[in-house]
Amino acid sequence: MSRSRQSAGQPAQEPRWREFTVTRDGVRLAAYELGDRSAPTVVLVHGWPDTHHLWTHVAPTLAERYHVVAYDTRGYGASDKPAGVHPYRLEECAADLFAVAEAADPSRPVHLVGHDWGSVQAWEAVTMPGSTERFASFTSVSGPSLDQLGAWVHDRLTHPTPTSVKQALSQAVSSAYTALFQIPVLPKIVLLPLSTRRSWSAFLHAVEGTPVENVTVAPSLRADMWSGLRFYRANIRRKLAHPNPTSTSVPVFQVVNTRDIALRPAIYSDTADYADRLWRKDCVSGHWLPYTNPDYLASVAGQFIDSVETTTPSPLIDRSRRRGPAKAFDGTLSVVTGAASGIGRETALLLAANGSEVVVADIDADGAQETATAIKERGGIGHAYPLDVSDPAALAAFAADVATTHGVADIVVNNAGIGLGGASLDATDDQIRRLVDINLIGVMTGSREFGRQMVRQGIGGHIVNLASAAAFTPQRGLGAYAATKAGVLLFSESLRAELASDHIGVTAICPGIVDTNIISATELTGLSESEQAAARARIDRAYQRRGYTPDKVAAAIVAAIDADKAVVPVTPEAVIGYRIYRFTPWLSRLGARAKVM
C-alpha cells in the first residue's frame, strides 16, 4: 500500500477537497480530505451509484471538528475499475478500507460512516481481525451486513411465523431490483433513462422527496452505475446463500431509515446479536439520507463520534444505546403534558415501558415528579417539569428547554385539560376563558411549538392531542367543554394534513367516560359550592362504577402512535357515538336533549 498527494481544483458547489491517492495490490483509490489532519479522522464510504460526491453536504460540517476523508471505492469515479467480478467481493473492498484508514491516519483508529454499499463494506471491515485496532466507531446508514441479512432470511424461512413471513415478503419485494441486477445487459437498458444527473435527481425526488439541488454526482455517473452492478453480482447470492455472520467489538451506531425503499427496518432486528456495543436511531426518512437531510446525518454521526472520543454521550446518543431486548419506542424522546395523574400519567408510564425516554410535565409539580420517579423505579428514564399550559410563553419556553436539554421530541402527547359542566348560559367569562386557554389554546400551542422543532429536524415524529367523545357527542351540560374538544379534534385533523409531507403523524384521541380525577376538579356552572361538591361526588361514583381506567386509554394512545391513526374513539360509548354522529347526526342531536349533569 502506498500514498501520494496532489492538489486539484473542485467545482464551485463542492467542498475544497484535498486529493490524494491510496494504492493497494495495484488498485489505485482516489481519496479526498477536509479539515485539520491533527484531529481524529472520519472516513466516509459511499454506495451505489455514488462517489465521494455523496458526502458533499455532510463532510464540511464534520470537518469543522474532525479530519474527514472520503474516497471513491473501487469501480467508481476516479478510482481504478478492475476487470471481472471477483475483485468486487466484500473481502477485497474491506481490505481497501483498511488501507484507506491506514493512509488517512496511521497513528490511531479512525471513525467510519458508511451508506448503502459503503455501509455493507464497512460491516465487512469491522468484523474482520484487527478491526478494533483500526476503527474507533462505525455509523451505519442504509446498509446491512450481508452475512447478518443472510442469517436473518434463513431464520425467517426455517422458523416461520405470520410476522416473520410478512417481514420476509416485504423485504423480498423491496429487494426485487437486486435480482434484475444479476442479469447481463438488461440492467443497463433499464437504468439508461436514469443515468444523467437531471434524471437521477428527479428520480430520487419522486421516490422519496430528495431535494433536487442536494443531489451531487460525479460526471462518471453512467459508467459508475454500470460498474457498480458488479458489487451485486459478486456478493448478493453467495453471501445470502451461505451467511457467516461474525460479531464486532467496534462501537456501532445504526441509523435506520424507516421509509427506505430498498431495505425494510425489520432486517436490522438481530443486529444486537452481532455488535457488542450497539446504538440505534430510527428516522422517518428514505434511503438517501446524505442527500435528503445531510445536516441531521452530520449531527447524529458527529454526536456519536463525540461520545466515543469523550466517553460522554449526548442525550440522543445515550437513549439510543441498546441495553436489552428491543422495545417498540427504543431511542425515542416523548413529552407528555398533564402527566401528574390519570391518562397522562399512565401514558407516560407506558411509553417509558416501551423504551422511550419521557419528559413529564404538569401544573402539579409534585405529581409530575412522582410520575418521573415511578418511571425510574421501573427501569425507565423520566424527567419532571412544572408547566401551566394555559400560559403560551411558558409553554414555548418549556419546548425550547426540552430541545436544548434533551433534544427534539419524537412523540408529544398534549394531554393536559380540565372540565367544565353545567348550563352554558350560566358559565362566567373567566370560566370560559380558562377552559379555552387550557383545553384548546394549550393544545394548539404545544402542537405548534413542538411541531416546528420536528419539521426543522426533518426526520418525522408524532403528535397526540387529547380530545374527547364530547367532540362529536353534543349534550346538555357540556356545551362549552365539548366546543373546546371539538376544536381539538378538527385542529388535529387539519394539522395532520399540513404535516403529512413532513412525515409527522397527528392523532386525536377521543375517550368517553374514563375513571380519572378530572371530575373532582371540574367546575359546575350555576351551582353553589356545596351543590357542586354533591354533584361531583355523584358523577364521580358513576364514573367509578363504569370502571374504564386510564391505563386502557394509554394503551390506545400507544397503539395509535404505532399505527399512525388519525382519530381514535376509545371507550365503547365513544366508538358508538362517533358512528352515530357521522351517519345519523340527527340522532346525536336528539340524544343531546337528555340531562346528564
Q: Is residue 544 part of a domain?
A: yes
Integer Cα distance of 321 and 313 in angstroms = 10
Q: Is residue 487 part of a domain?
A: yes
Q: Is residue 374 part of a domain?
A: yes
Same domain flag for 297 and 339: no
Same domain flag for 315 and 418: no
Contact assessment for residue 259 and residue 505, using Cβ atoms and an 8 Å cutoff: no
Same domain flag for 273 and 411: no
Where among 261, 293, 320 does a domain terminate? 320
What stretches of 165-268 adopt beta strand conformation (E)? 252-257
Q: Is residue 182 part of a domain?
A: yes
- Per-residue pLDDT reduced to its tens digit, 523-560: 777 677 776 676 666 766 666 666 689 999 999 999 99
Cβ-Cβ contacts under 8 Å for 71 (sequence gap 6 or more): 22, 29, 30, 31, 32, 43, 45, 52, 79, 100
- Per-residue pLDDT reduced to its tens digit, 554-583: 999 999 999 999 999 998 888 888 888 888
Contact assessment for residue 349 and residue 370, using Cβ atoms and an 8 Å cutoff: no
Q: What share of the chain is helix, strand, coil (3-state, %, to 5)?
A: 50, 15, 35
DSSP 267-301: GGTTGGGTBSSEEEEEES--S-HHHHSHHHHHHHH
Q: Which of 109, 77, 78, 71 is nearest to 93 (CA)?
A: 71
**Greatest distance between any 2 Cα atoms in the chain:** 93
The x, y and z cell numbers of residue 26, run together, are: 495495484
Same domain flag for 261 and 339: no
Residue 90, SS3 per DSSP: helix
Q: Is residue 293 part of a domain?
A: yes
DSSP 504-524: EEEEEEE--S--STTGGG-EE
Q: Is residue 580 part of a domain?
A: yes
Q: Is residue 409 part of a domain?
A: yes
Same domain flag for 337 and 315: no
- 544: domain CATH number is 3.40.50.720
What stretches of 12-131 adopt beta strand conformation (E)? 18-24, 27-34, 41-45, 67-71, 110-115
Integer Cα distance of 533 and 531 in angstroms = 5
Same domain flag for 363 and 303: no
Same domain flag for 30 and 103: yes
- 296: domain CATH number is 3.40.50.1820
Q: pTM of the predicted model, to two decimals?
A: 0.89
What integer pLDDT is reported at residue 545 of this predicted model? 66
Where among 295, 320, 345 does a domain terminate? 320
What integer pLDDT is reported at residue 588 of this predicted model? 76
Residue 225, SS3 per DSSP: helix
Number of domains in the chain: 2
What integer pLDDT is reported at residue 585 of this predicted model? 81
Domain carrying residue 478 = 333-591
Same domain flag for 488 and 552: yes
Which active-site residues does the annotation give? Answer: 481
Where among 271, 286, 320 does a domain terminate? 320
**Residues pairing with 384 in the sheet:** 360
Same domain flag for 295 and 337: no
First vs last C-alpha separation in the chain: 85
Our measurement of the distance from residue 74's CA atom to the centroid of its chain's CA atoms, rounded to an integer in Å, reads 33
Q: Encode the chain (597 residues) as per-residue pLDDT tens digits.
A: 444 443 333 334 689 999 999 999 999 999 999 999 999 999 999 999 999 999 999 999 999 999 999 999 999 999 999 999 999 999 999 999 999 999 999 999 999 999 999 999 999 999 999 999 999 999 999 999 999 999 999 998 888 899 888 999 999 999 989 988 999 889 999 999 999 999 999 999 999 889 999 999 999 999 999 999 999 999 999 999 999 999 999 999 999 999 999 999 999 999 999 999 999 999 999 999 999 999 999 999 999 999 999 989 999 999 999 988 889 999 999 999 999 999 999 999 999 999 999 999 999 999 999 999 999 999 999 999 999 999 999 999 999 999 999 999 999 999 999 988 788 898 999 999 999 999 999 999 999 999 999 999 999 999 999 999 999 988 887 889 999 999 999 999 999 999 999 999 999 999 987 766 666 667 777 677 776 676 666 766 666 666 689 999 999 999 999 999 999 999 888 888 888 888 888 777 777 676 655
Same domain flag for 94 and 211: yes
Cα distances (Å, whole numbers) of residue 554 to 14, 120, 335, 559: 50, 40, 14, 9
Same domain flag for 98 and 157: yes
Same domain flag for 316 and 360: no
Q: Is residue 328 part of a domain?
A: no
